[in-house]
Structure 1
């Protein structure tokens, strides 16, 4: 009754709630997305989405249909992939990515362990950026990504085990009023503007790096918004604000114009690990995650 591509368009729109992003993600025109939705609504006999010039929202019938279809489609995809895996084993090609310098170190160690276990599977390494990491998982150019696990806060992604948990530090300009301190608490964020992360980052990541309030309930001051991590550090060095980072940033991004201050125990650690598209849970992906988890990996505070 329903074509596979029609279901895919519907579920993607139910997640994105934006015709343009669905078109970009599925590489089809927005007109095609609109026609598919209208066809489904004629078939169902009721609106699946409420559409205005400013927003797209699921109707109650649309929400129920999405909730019913999503697990069925995921089960079908995984059944096919399990059959393929059973027939091929851990061979062929695996595309793995990393986001940030510490993630690159974790990835290299995982790749070494995986290659030793599965010499018939060729691994291709890709560096990703904040704006394209998730899209590359979705379009299949990257199978597994090592990253800050808060990046995995998407309903269609699976977050793997924590490979590294590192203490948090605060990046401040070398001439900043805080620079002479031995350590700081999260409460200083109420007195010094915090550089804002790109709006394209997941909400959980934004809330972590740019909290609205300190643990004591004081409003956090907002600084300028950066387009990249390099720009973030440049803004910090220019005295435009401060920014919380992981301990390893001090090793990978040492700068004479920035001081990295340990944050006291009230600051949660930053955790790193693998993430992948849930419908792309192949045996190759599972084998790589096992290798990453079981292989020799750096621990918090050991640079890596």
Structure 2
């Protein structure tokens, strides 16, 4: 996609926008699916009528649901750009011992032009939330989306980054063999976080507001922020209705508001898998090793 820049500003202007009816409809359906499946007013009222464990279990599920909302929202926005191939399924990448050692012991400049055979397998794996491949530039972004990384200490973030970079060394081969011979000549890794803490643009940790640049869609980050706010508003409305229902049945008035999004700890599955990662089950076509570039996502170029 061509990127133009207005003479009066340094902000990139993209050919596609997240402000479109189709995307708004998808977001509405996504909220309905996630909220009504387990956080409807009836479900919340039933939890209030049950034990404290029932209520605690439901409250703990909310951050995980919001994380899933963000992941799927990002994928939906990215698909609005027809130049992008957005992959969300069959993404278990092997973290090869040799690749991990290479990442741990060397500067990225030493290995950023290497690629590993995805068929080698191994006990450790990493599953990104999505891979976004620009078919025009042949740049693939390995994306890990987080509702918040505020609960992650530095060591945990560094460990995640190592696994992402090690897994990135097989992405080119993996996409070619497992996803219809897609070609990636450069692989970049990025953690997208919806909070405002610990961002590091040069180190591959971006706030969701930078999503516009990653997917080349104007208003992409703002759209995800709006999606979050609508999700929380929907839950709050259901919570208030559930409290009214509970109060009318039990005679006990609930006056304390529950800020479920900030009170509960984030619960996300570990992307590292100790199960043996088997060989490729794809087209079975061996491919000669090629030179690729591996690195962090790059910040927008200012003109």
Q: TM-score range by the shorter chain?
A: under 0.3
Q: Name the one with the larger strand percent.
A: 1
Give the number of the structure with larger relative contact order, counting CA–CA contacts within 8 Å between residues 6 or more apart: 2
The alignment's TM-score, normalised by the length of structure 1, stands at 0.25
The alignment's TM-score, normalised by the length of structure 2, stands at 0.25
